[in-house]
A and B are shown apart, each in its own frame.
Chain A
Amino acid sequence: MTKITDLSTFNAVREAGMAKLLPPNPRIAVGMGTCGSGNGAEAVYHAFADAIGQRGLSITLARTGCFGFCAAEPLVNVWIPGKPLVILQRVQPNDVGFILDELSAGRVPAGLALCRVDEWDHITGHVKYGTGLQEIPLWNEVPFFKGQKKIVLRNCGLIDPTDIEEHLAVGGYQALYKVLIDSNPVSIVESIKLAKLRGRGGAGFQTGSKWEYLQRAKTGQKYLICNADEGDPGAYMNRNEIESDPHSLIEGMIIGGFVTGATEGIIYVRAEYPLAVHRLQAAIQQAEEYGLLGDNILGRGFKFHLQMVEGAGAFVCGEETALIRSLEGKAGRPTPRPPYPAESGLFGKPTNINNVETWYNVAPIVVKGPAWFAETGSPKSPGTKVFSLVGKVLNTGLVEMPLGTPLKTFVYDVGGGTTNGRAVKAVQTGGPSGGCIPQEMFDTPVDYESLAQLGSIMGSGGMVVMDEDNCMVDVARYFIEFTHSESCGKCIPCRVGLDKSLYYLNRITKGKGTEADLATLDDLSRMIRDTSLCGLGQTAPNPVLTTMRHFRHEFEDHIRASRCRAGVCEDLALSPCENSCPLHMNIPRFLQLLKEDRLEDAFVSVVMDNPLPASTGRVCQHPCDDRCRRSGIDSSVNMREVHRYIADSIYNSPRFPDVVARVATLRMAPTGKRCAVVGAGPTGLACAFYLRMLGHDVMVYDSNPNAGGMLRYALPDYRLPKEVLDREVELIRLMGVEFTFNAAVPAVISLNDLDQRYDAVFLAIGTWKESWVYLPGTELTGVIPALPFLEAVSKREKVPLGKRVIVIGGGNAAIDSARTALRLGSDVTILYRRERKDMPAIPEETEAAEAEGAKLAFLATPHRILGGADGRVSAIEAVRTTLGEYDASGRRRPIPTDEIVRYNCDTVILAVGESVDIDFAKASGLKIKENGLIEVDRFTLETSRPKFYAGGDLITGASNVSNAMGYGKKAARNIDKRLTGVKRWRELIPAFTYNMAVPAHPSDAARHHVGELDAEERARTFSEATVGLTTVEAMEEACRCLRCDVRNGDH
């Protein structure tokens, strides 16, 4: 070890370090930050050490910090002299042998490579690794790193953090040397001010100004403090910075000491970061040994001592006055400013506190100058900021981006969108002091001012991505729970105010909140924000205020409809499956009843929850599958098919009339009220059934000659045989619902007629208008819309279909059209403009279509349809697309290329979506929205006209059967409440007694799938393509249920 006293000793140490970094033999460095170690880096390191020792290889093995891409840990750097540094990802101990084989042979294991680094700009230094290996992407070509600029993280993951010589080799302590030689503290402060470096702890105060105050303070003792009490949940950049590059922090502080005249420095680190504490302690000791810290720094006579103190777990100590009190041996309760720490801080002496990251920016500014620093970032907020990108995002890790980068770049480009394809809902920035920014505002540039405008803050740089499965009320509650338990208790607004805020939020998440609670919560939050003593209290209401501002509908859902769409608030849901079901079927109940061998009870349970159980049992989109907790073990319970089994079993049983009679006994006494339902589709049928069961007289009008709507006229027989639908309609009819067919509203019966004759009217005519794409050639013979095509086939009408059919679209109607066309003997190709995973169709349906011989072409946007002289379609041209930026739906937007593909065909079926018949909406005289949909109250489904309700596709646009039925059910409930003035809904659903215990041994069986006819065979016929579960299979599925509906204390 050399004590550095002059330039020659300084350079000698640098060269020694460089020789370690670029040895004459290959070098391996394992990324061993806490997150690497948590992913198994220790084991990898030891495997390398053992194998290198055993084989006697001439390979240098080292540890390094973290390169930032946490999702790809453990990361291992390998370097062969003359070649680029290659970073390997997800290295496991059993990869070690192979990696060593390759390195010994002079090769790099390209298959494991994440990226390569030809040369690295350490800002204060530069390292050239080598060239070649073009097949591996450069580091900043990898999406996660694209756009990143590593100033703060300049050394992280590239040097050994425990070795000061390597740090010097890449330019460490160069800035300190320069500052001590130049010996001009005033000009350094000027540089920092010119660079407009703002505090990276969150408040964004000008660092240069703070330094100037301290510099001017005329007194003996001054203190410098580094705030490394990183307490924001969701932020961990400071941990990584200290773990991976402790010397840059030390250097920044020594420079600060020299400039401001402070001789004592204190680093206040969280004790929860043991590795950071350890590395920092070691680094301080090393710096002292090398003469870079202590009484005579670099032989220039300057004295600076650095000490580390471990914080003992108090979030509020991130507040500077609380931190100072903590260092004074007191509880960390903030004290009022003035006096500011610069006048009277630690032990009453002038003190300056900066965040870890602020200190890391010092050396680069000193070496490169303020103009260079200001080149990056936005004018008001120059430079970069390190963010921890975590939560529901694919690529998690530490991201250093120029300030002012839009939020969507973080979420979609760097983060790669969500892990499970769900839509991103919001990003939470700034931890408990910050707020939630909704997806619609992702264009916002990330800097101090823009975030503050949205009610959030940048804070220490935590970015937690949230998707549809996160409830924003719960998020607000979570943060208040956090700040509530971290409040120091000194001032009343924060201490008691947060306690009461938590009370209201708890109440709302339990479904017991009121609208008045929202107003009180809002008042209280503003009061806490405006009157609290310190930053913790002043910012603690931000999560509540921002979620109430941007996600008010979620609060209203909880309060008015006792509904938590995300399914997070447990008290508002029976079970995850029930919560996700648009009809809110009590799924665990019918599964348990079946398990208890009570088939008829199970049927009654099912039919009272869902009056079309056999139809939905075949065609529902089954959102329940995505939520089933069983999928955490193997795969979800096949709930849809179990209720299909239950319904089919009863419909085909001789006991059917008895069961019908039993259901009829559940009907309530006649009320004498008369209701009309317009539309006999699934929405109308559901509403009619429930209104009838509630005791009202119900008349259903439909323009078609039979009931079922889309179920009858759009769904092909092979998916839903008409006999099944007939049985279900029969049951509804047997309950006493009356029908008038061939009666269009308002053409045959006007709304005024209905108004006069009925006490309530429910409109559910659905979306029957096929959307039309406007592309050249749609006027040609042979271009047909999907719905009329499917309708004609289902009515057994003759359809002129060619031999080669192209279907345009990716929804269920497209797949239905394709499979129908196949059955009519055509050759079918489906063109879809996005990727397969973006298709709205049920995935099983797409697979079935493929198995039956349909061809699929993705990333193909129709361009024009070509016709022959006879005016018939002869071909279609499609433009190949590539995937571009993420759009508002969180899917990547297709971008057209120059490539055009031609498909010869004689028929084109357009299945690009259905829309509401605007003429009806206009003629109805009801208030409509811009897109032609009827406007209703979100909670009651009332239209602008008294007595008139609307639901289903008419208010949502084209959706699916179960969603539509959900509206029918909801309308019935609200109509009944209006007609009778009482809430009678709960009385309608019969009580069942059944076992309420969590099964000790749920069945180990794998999920049972429905039987399918052989693809070739079924493609020739319209008979049903699937065979339902057998009795044994259905039973076993029921036994696989984990019974999430059973709560503690239920048994």
Chain B
Amino acid sequence: MPSSSLIDYAAPRSALSFEEQDFIDRLIAKHQGKPGMLLSLLEEIQERQSAKYLPMEYLEYLAGRTGIPGSQIYSVATFYALFNLKPQGEHTVCICRGTACHTRGSRDLLERMKLQLGLVSAEDEGGADKLSMTTPDRKFTLRTVACFGQCALAPVVEVDHAILGHVNERALEREVEALKKGGA
């Protein structure tokens, strides 16, 4: 349940346009008091952004409007793999790292993609398998997912929300090349 905070945010000075403020207000009204409210709010806010992320201004506004402490919102936004705090690339390549995919060589696909997109693994970010990396030109984001539940098609890669099954390095390379050219 929303907890009260000491400082009243009822009339926050927000960096958001009135239109966006209105959007969030409606969203809050829709989910108010329901279980899973904060998750749903964040999911819908992220979905609204073209770069599929949670801009800080939105979180500030959300905290003010709902009375949910900022620290709690930030904790939630960083805990779940689905939420991004940074803008995502135009195209998303998401490689499944489920067991079936792993036993059928998904790590090689991941390494291949890193090479092809020129992404260098950030060593300090815990396990290298939990990853979301975006190219500097914001054209591509490479991510991994724990499992798509498409294990019979292993290894599975999702390119811009289309599932590709039984992928090999060559097929994936061609797919990404096509996207590179298509958008150029």
Contact = CB atoms under 8 A, between A and B. Distances in A.
Nearest to B145: A272
Nearest to A465: B103
Given A230-B149, A234-B147, A484-B127, 6 more contacts: A70-B153, A73-B152, A236-B149, A307-B34, A330-B38, A485-B126
A331 B104 CA distance: 33
B151 interface: yes
Interface residues of B, number: 50
Contact of B149 (A239, A311, A475): A239
B149 A312 contact: no
A34 B149 contact: yes
Contact of B81 (A314, A346, A428, A478): A314
A731 B151 CA distance: 54
A431 B98 CA distance: 9
A236 B98 CA distance: 11
A70 B147 contact: no
Interface residues of A, number: 68
Given A390-B154, A478-B99, A485-B127, A332 B79 contact: yes
A1048 interface: yes
A475 B107 CA distance: 12
A35 B153 contact: yes
A481 B127 contact: yes
A233 B82 contact: no
Given A388-B151, A633-B170, A331 B34 contact: no
B18 interface: no
B39 interface: yes
Contacts of B151: 233-236, 388, 390-391, 396, 462, 464
B83 interface: yes
B146 A231 contact: yes
Given A39-B165, A328-B1, A485-B130, A273 B35 contact: no
A268 B75 contact: no
A347 B126 contact: no
Nearest to B125: A485
Nearest to B168: A632
Contacts of A230: 149
Interface string A260-290: 0000101010111100000000000000000
B129 A331 contact: no
- Per DSSP, chain A at the interface is mixed
B29 to A, nearest CB: 16
B170 A328 contact: no
A326 interface: yes
Contact of A332 (B42, B80, B153): B80
Contact of B152 (A313, A328, A396, A632): A396
A310 B40 contact: yes
Interface string B80-96: 11110000000000000
Given A330-B75, A331-B79, A346 B35 contact: yes
A232 B1 contact: no
Contacts of A329: 2, 36-39, 68, 72, 76
A202 to B, nearest CB: 15
Interface of A: 34-35, 37-39, 70-71, 73, 223, 230-236, 239-240, 264, 266, 268, 270-273, 307, 309-315, 326-333, 346-347, 388, 390-392, 396-397, 428, 431, 462, 464, 466, 470, 475, 478-479, 481-482, 484-486, 488, 502, 632-633, 1048
Contacts of B154: 390-391
Interface string B46-85: 0000000000000000000000100010011001111100
29 contacts: A34-B150, A39-B165, A233-B100, A233-B146, A233-B147, A234-B151, A236-B147, A236-B150, A266-B36, A271-B43, A272-B149, A309-B40, A310-B40, A310-B43, A312-B42, A312-B83, A329-B39, A332-B80, A346-B35, A390-B152, A391-B100, A392-B103, A396-B152, A397-B152, A479-B99, A481-B127, A484-B126, A488-B79, A1048-B115
A484 B130 CA distance: 10
B163 interface: yes
A35 B75 CA distance: 34
Given A272-B145, A307-B34, A466 B103 contact: yes
Nearest to A68: B152
Contacts of A309: 35-36, 39-40
Nearest to A479: B99
A73 B76 CA distance: 39
A327 B35 contact: yes
B53 to A, nearest CB: 13
B99 A462 contact: yes
A35 B149 CA distance: 9
B133 interface: no
